[in-house]
Amino acid sequence: MTDFKKDATELLKDVGGKENIAAVTHCATRMRFVLNDPSQADEKAIEKIPSVKGMFTQAGQFQVIIGNEVAMFYNEFAKISGVEGVSKDQAKVAAKQNLNPVQRAISVLAEIFTPLIPAIVVGGLILGFRNILDGIVFSGLGNQTIVEVSQFWSGVDSFLWLIGEAIFQFLPVGITWSISKKMGTTQILGIVLGITLVSPQLLNAYSVASTAAADIPYWNFGFFKIEMIGYQAQVIPAMLAGFLLCYLEIFFRKHIPQAVSMIFVPLFSLVPTVLAAHVILGPIGWKIGSFISDIVYSGLTSSFNWLFGALFGFLYAPLVITGLHHMTNAIDLQLIADFHGTNLWPMIALSNIAQGSAVLAVIFLHRGNKDEEQVSIPSVISCYLGVTEPAMFGINLKYIYPFVAAMIGSGIAGLVSTLFNVTANSVGVGGLPGILSIQLPYWGKYLLCMIIAIVVPFILTVVFRQRGILNKLDPAGTKGDEDIMEEINV
């Protein structure tokens, strides 16, 4: 068993001592600090600690990568520092002291959508598999689809839509639940609110455009009417309604006596919110969501879409560093609701691949460095499966030139992706498995984009190191540049 006493003592000193720690916790691989004064952390000294694999700051937390033994390191750190650990949620609350208003808004958005990602990923995989069953015409099957020649697979296709529909069309239920959970209010009220936005008695959102105004159902209150329109797959209407419900509940809990709060708090919170959702917030949210998705879609389909794709692909990784990438979840889901697919998400998956390929090049360049491989090899696997933070913060940002090489490769792949109008059915597993979420007509073109995202960052990483471009920390090794390039050519 590794003895972390010396390293933990050094880390305590380098983060500014016990008095500089507002809160500390850990996750699967990282120590997570909320520091009273982040500027007191001596990053250069921390980087030299043997147990430390990297560090970064995100969402107001100073995070130090330790690896799979982080739990043992944390226990030793707690003994030495005398600082009592907190839960992840408590750490997040404490971390907000280090965030500006924009960062706080992004943090809230992340906390809303993060719990929904597993379901959305599953939904994306299901839609991709259903596309194979009912979307591909096979010559060996007499130019028919699988569902047309097999009753079994036809049944599977129909059954899987039960799950796909629950995830995407009933997405507002998940959003309103997640908001109530994040705000610490009554979660069942959030669920009920979400159901009122997608109830079967409402006109399905997907049918509104094809329904004549005179045929739209409505509630008739005598002196006014409310259209019975659903908000299936709509993001912003659900968010607006969810926050209103939570703030009303918080307000009434403060002002209604405890003896009757169980009756009147839910009643006075839920009924006005549902009314406001269908009269004001829903229509306004729909227009806002459509406006945002129209702008993004216009950029992706205009004559300058190549520039949009190149810039988004190039800048997505820096967005991850700032946390702004969480905004793309809402945009992707809105694009899917409005246009039955998203051109944005394929570029996100390509950025994952590009960052992993840059690390792969670093592994090649630093082969034999066993200490670094403990970070680099797992991070490549993580990138290729859609999670880039270990690679970016553990390797690429440390040396800079691999990070830039990955950005360039991602930008080129994004440019090609938008030129070919590559479209995904939904958000899915990032990285290499991302192709499963791509609509079938674009598989070949997306495969080309994936090759670009693998090859370009790898070659550029090697060239940047060879030429000393953006590289001050990683001088050439024992082999000459000509030897390295010769091995690549072979």
Can you tell me the distance from the alpha carbon of 151 to that of 146, in angstroms, rounded to the nearest whole number? Answer: 9
Please give the structure tokens belonging to residue 346. 């394929």
Distance CA 18, CA 126 (A): 49
Report d(CA 405, CA 457) in Å as an integer.
Answer: 5
CA distances from 319 to 64, 164, 315, 392, 410 (A): 20, 29, 6, 12, 13
Q: What is the SS3 assignment for 231?
A: coil
* Strands of the 21-26 sheet, one edge to the other: 21-26, 30-35, 61-65, 54-58
Return d(Cα 440, Cα 386) in angstroms, integer.
Answer: 20
The verdict on whether 27 is a catalytic residue reads yes
**If you count them, how many residues does the chain have?**
490
Catalytic residue among 27, 246, 383, 449: 27
Q: Are 99 and 60 in contact (CB under 8 A)?
A: yes
Q: Which residues contact 82 (CB under 8 A, 6 or more apart)?
A: 18
The Cα 222–Cα 272 span in angstroms is: 19
Q: Are 343 and 425 in contact (CB under 8 A)?
A: no
- Cα first-last separation, the chain: 42
- Tell me how many degrees the CA angle 161-344-56 measures, rounded to the nearest 5: 110
What is each CA distance from 79 to 4, 5, 74, 331, in whole angstroms?
11, 9, 9, 45
A 10 A CB-CB count for 181 gives: 16
| Angle between helices 401-419 and 305-322 in degrees, nearest 10 | 140
List of residues 6+ apart from 390 with CB closer than 8 A = 29, 54, 65, 375, 378, 379, 382, 383
Partners of 31 in beta bridges: 26, 64
Active site residues: 27
